[in-house]
């Protein structure tokens, strides 16, 4: 028999200390996810995949990438293996598009400027939701191109929450999870304050996001120091940005009059400065996700107004 539940998950669920498995997928639930779930120390499997109806009536995704199911198995050596199954992402991840392994892939996988801005906007929206609009703030702790998944429509989704932290003030679980983990995230993307043992914060995600922005615009990995300084961006712009974007720029020059091209240069400089602003060494100096969204929306709308998309071959 299949039961369909509706309404809110009761906060008293935290009193069910013997609860091991909780499957609530595909129900008509609304309201907030009770933070008391973090008190269930014996909880082995939790499936909340699907969508919740929020207080204002809008449908809100629980996670940036929808969880299909959770499974476990025992290998030949008797070790238990657990896995979270996500929706299939036909276009892989951003890492594959920015750094294709073969020349054939490089020819097939090309992101124009508008696509890159859209992907960065999708990721910023996901971070804004995680940081400010969920039941409790969540820090992803591992923002990097390989964790930005692209669906069939090239919509970006943030995946791999293996290092994520729920920021619950005074929660014993929170204190235990953030007490001693070393550097959170991949070297090059992890915020510098994590290297000295600081706990996870939303500022750390913004730093990683800033590095992601710079890599998306330049096509260069964090180890490349070419763009770590904001000085002289205008003068050496074409030496900094991804060569594929430069070729797009040149094609667009041939197809259109020269006057709007200075606007595109301004957009590229704005994106680079955005990345640098997000990856400031001092956490309090970094931008908030909401401000990033506003700036990227303005750039995206301006690109449409310049008619760039129809005149640059993807």
Is the four-CA dihedral 269, 270, 275, 278 of positive or negative sign?
Answer: positive
Torsion of CA 234, 237, 241, 247, to 10 degrees: 130
Active site residue 142: yes
- Asked if 154 and 118 count as a contact pair (C-beta separation under 8 A), the reply is yes
**Given the residues 75, 122, 142, 257, the one annotated as active site:** 142
- Active site residue ranges: 142
């Amino acid at each position: 028999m299949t039961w369909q539940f509706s309404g809110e998950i009761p906060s008293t669920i935290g009193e069910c200390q013997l609860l091991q498995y909780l499957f609530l997928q595909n129900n008509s639930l609304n309201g907030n996810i009770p933070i008391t779930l973090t008190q269930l120390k014996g909880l082995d499997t939790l499936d909340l995949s699907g969508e919740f109806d929020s207080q204002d009536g809008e449908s809100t995704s629980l996670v940036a990438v929808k969880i299909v199911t959770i499974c476990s198995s025992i290998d030949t050596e008797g070790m238990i293996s657990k896995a979270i199954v996500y929706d299939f992402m036909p276009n892989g991840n951003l890492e594959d598009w920015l750094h294709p392994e073969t020349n054939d892939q490089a020819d097939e996988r090309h992101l124009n400027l508008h696509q890159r801005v859209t992907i960065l906007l999708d990721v910023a929206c996901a971070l804004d939701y995680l940081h400010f609009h969920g039941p409790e703030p969540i820090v992803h702790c591992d923002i990097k191109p390989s964790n930005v998944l692209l669906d069939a429509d090239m919509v970006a989704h943030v995946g791999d929450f293996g290092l994520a932290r729920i920021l619950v003030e005074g929660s014993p679980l929170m204190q235990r999870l953030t007490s001693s983990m070393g550097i959170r995230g991949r070297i090059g993307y992890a915020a510098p304050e994590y290297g000295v043992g600081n706990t996870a914060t939303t500022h750390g995600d913004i730093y990683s996001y800033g590095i992601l922005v710079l890599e998306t615009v330049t096509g260069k990995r964090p180890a490349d120091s070419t763009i770590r300084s904001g000085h002289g961006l205008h003068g050496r712009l074409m030496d900094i940005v991804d060569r594929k974007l430069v070729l797009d720029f040149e094609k667009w020059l041939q197809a259109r009059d020269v006057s709007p091209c200075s606007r595109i240069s301004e957009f590229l400089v704005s994106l680079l400065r955005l990345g640098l602003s997000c990856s400031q060494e001092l956490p309090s100096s970094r931008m908030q996700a909401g401000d990033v969204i506003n700036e990227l929306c303005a750039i995206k709308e301006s690109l449409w107004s310049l008619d760039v998309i129809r005149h640059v071959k993807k």
